[in-house]
Structure 1
Amino acid sequence: MSGRWQPEQRIPVEHELMLQYRCSRMTVNKVLTQLAREGIIERRRKVGSFVKRPHSTSAVLSIADIKAEVEALKQPYRFEILARQKRRATRADRTLMGTEESMSVLELICRHFAGNLPFCDEHRLINLHAVPTVASVDFADISPGAWLLRQVPWAVAEHRIRASGAAADVAARLKVKAGSPCLVVERTTRSMSAVPITFVRLSYPGTLHELVASFKAI
């Protein structure tokens, strides 16, 4: 849980753990079995036990802070801005943001980490007409999504969720093979006056993330 042993790292064998914790092999085996059941380690026959890469969940109907998702997994979080460009919106941009209005956008590509491994790839467009102050934010200490959640009120959000094979550029940033299954969440948020604020596409390695929603009967 401390992150000292990274995902995919092989942990000590049973007799080493027996000596370290001064307990029986039966006790060590029981503990390893329980850790495997909880998805913390993976036991590979004739090879050993390995730290399992965390599997995260997020709510379908909420806008989650990726930092909070990672910290919920007891993993150290960091992010990096890989690309940043201020430009006029293209027709494709306006389609993603659900508008025909001409606008300038700030385009950002950001990568989020859980420990040393990529956790999520983020491609974001921010409407500079709606959020002009974002142009001067350097995002040195806070990610674009977290900044928007704190600084810009929104009234309506639309989620689109799909499975997709990772495009070559996304795969490279996530350090997976091109075409690997990804869970893709696309979201557009709007102001009270229905002006688009931002469009974001979040791509997660498909085997490591799931979306959860709870419903009540009316």
Structure 2
Amino acid sequence: MTAKLKPGTKATPKALYQVIRGDIEAKITSGDWPPGHKVPFEHELMETYSCSRMTVNKVISALAESGLVVRRRRAGSFVSRPRVQSAILQIPDLKGEVEKRGERYAYRLIDLGKRAASARDKARLGVDARAQVLAVRCLHQAEGQPFALEDRLINLQAVPDALREDFSKTPPNTWLVGHVPWTEAEHRITACNADEKIAKELNIEEGTACLVIERRTWRNGEPITAVRLTHPGHLYDLIARFTPTG
């Protein structure tokens, strides 16, 4: 970090603001401060640069607005993690996506259960009330931080092998992508503000904006799975590149 200004050195608030911001940006872009690194507290930056809290707050606010840092109430500011970019017409393997960007992947099963399809299951998956479904709720992590909350239904008539898979070790997303063929898929993309339960599971503030991807797949008209993936909004991008059609 840049040392304090020498006694008697004058700098306009604008110039000093640019110096502080430039120093922090350099630390981040050079990799000295990797994703998840804790930025010094405001009072520490005030002491280092002999400046006011207003100047430091302006710098951190600008860095947060540009996406370089993320502010967490009562915890401080941290270097942002890379956003995942995904084409909306693909069915990604979350484990592969996290590892592809050089981060450590981890997975935790939250809940698993077989049941007769409820009215809500029927609406989500498109099966009749007599169908048997496997309900899976799990958490995907990148570098020890929650990356996606997965809430999935699997149609056991279409995918009976799901009952024999150990989803305490293998993410259902990874297993389905690698083992279950499909002929049709539908994506629905929305946003939500994290309620108390989601905020706790994703380790974010209640009310934080989240990206929600709901997907259903079929094989020759038969429903396979319906999943709802909830991502902290600052960690995910959806990108599609296309050409005009005649």
TM-score (normalizing by structure 1): 0.78
| Equivalence for 1:138 | 166
C-alpha RMSD of matched pairs (Å): 2.6
| Equivalence for 2:112 | 84
| Equivalence for 1:217 | 244
Match of 2:212 among 163, 184, 190: 184
Find runs of 4+ consecutive structure 1 residues off by over 4 angstroms.
28-31, 39-45, 47-50
Deviation at 1:74, TM superposition (A): 1.6
SS at 1:95 equivalent: helix
1:75-111 Cα shifts (integer Å, max 9, x gaps):
1001111100100111111111134463110001010
| Equivalence for 2:194 | 166
Match of 1:203 among 209, 212, 230: 230
SS at 1:83 equivalent: strand
1:73 paired with 2:98, answer no
Distance 1:154 1:144 in 2: 15
8 A Cα contact 1:157 1:187, kept in partner: yes
| Equivalence for 1:125 | 153
Deviation at 1:67, TM superposition (A): 0.9
1:171-218 Cα shifts (integer Å, max 9, x gaps):
1110112221100000000011x1110000000001221101111122
Distance 1:82 1:43 in 2: 32
1:35-59 Cα shifts (integer Å, max 9, x gaps):
49xx957977727995322322111
Deviation at 1:155, TM superposition (A): 0.4
The percent of aligned pairs where both chains have the same amino acid is 38
Match of 1:152 among 136, 161, 180: 180
8 A Cα contact 2:116 2:129, kept in partner: no
Which blocks of at least 5 consecutive residues in structure 1 are unaligned?
1-12, 16-27
8 A Cα contact 1:85 1:107, kept in partner: yes
1:134-175 Cα shifts (integer Å, max 9, x gaps):
111112442101101111110000000001111322211101
Distance 2:92 2:28 in 1: 32
Residue 230 of structure 2 aligns to which amino acid in structure 1?
A: S
Deviation at 1:68, TM superposition (A): 1.7
- Structure number, greater radius of gyration: 2
Q: Size of the alignment, in residue pairs?
A: 191
Distance 1:58 1:216 in 2: 17
Q: Write out aligned runs for 1:35-74 (5 A).
A: 35=30, 46=45, 50-74=78-102
8 A Cα contact 1:42 1:52, kept in partner: no
TM-score (normalizing by structure 2): 0.70
Distance 2:192 2:132 in 1: 29
Distance 1:140 1:127 in 2: 19
